[in-house]
Amino acid sequence: MNETIMNSYYTSDCNQNDQSSSRIPKRLVILGSTGSIGRQTLEIVREQEGLSVVALAAGSNTAFMEEQIREFHPVYAVMWAA
């Protein structure tokens, strides 16, 4: 195949994959969900369609964790104490 046809084929193939993958929900595991980065990540989940939270993990902030479980309904929720 010449380079032009090859690039065209590759671009077409990528576009098809992008379209099909956009319909598949992205499943996320949020480690440190009650910390600042975890909470910012959950803000993005709230705003973006196609994202779901499968698991939350956090340290000792039970109040935040309970709110997150009630809102996002993860399959798994884990807490640990240092």
Res 23: pLDDT: 75
For the chain, how big is the Rg over CA atoms in Å?
19
Res 21: pLDDT: 57
Rounded to an integer, what distance in angstroms lies between the CA atom of residue 20 and that of residue 2? Answer: 27
pLDDT confidence tier of residue 7, bands split at 50, 70 and 90? very low
- Residue 3 pLDDT exceeds 60: no
User: pLDDT by residue (tens digit) across 12-68?
Assistant: 444 455 555 567 889 999 999 999 999 999 999 999 999 999 999 999 999 999 999
Q: Which residue has the higher pLDDT, 69 or 15?
A: 69
Domain extents for the chain? 24-79
Fold of 24-79: Rossmann fold (3.40.50)
